[in-house]
Amino acid sequence: MKFHGATSDRDSARWPGALGALSGASGVGLAAYAAHVATGDAQRWLYTAAAMALVHGALLVGYVPHGRRLGMFARVALVLGILLFSGSLVAAHAFGMAARLAPAGGLLLITGWLLVAVDRARG
């Protein structure tokens, strides 16, 4: 029986799973662009952005948290980390901007993984 306002684990996994899948698709597109269009440092940066988007996108698709609150924090950290890290590298190439947000994104990705580890350890 489902009560009004209650969400199932399946419902709470929809948005992170969808964002993870979009991240994976973006990673594939970035890798293709890096392989066929980009050169030099831009190619290296875009490959790095693609790898991070793919790996962390897959984690978001597959991660089903044990703890609701801790899992939410882990997912938010991972989504923001992908956006800041990969987005900063792509913006550096596309718009000639400095990749200033990449370190913050990397820190969020590390934090997301650590939160997943704590969640799994608590079981």
The answer, as to whether pTM is greater than 0.75, is: yes
For 9-47, what is each residue's pLDDT tens digit?
Answer: 556 668 888 999 999 999 999 999 999 999 999 999 999
Q: Within 13 Å, how many C-alpha atoms sit on residue 2's CB side?
A: 8
> Which 3 state secondary structure label does DSSP give 38?
coil
How far apart (Å, rounded) are the C-alpha atoms in residues 38 and 5?
48
Cβ 81 vs Cβ 116: under 8 Å: no
**Which two three-digit tokens encode residue 110?**
């590390």
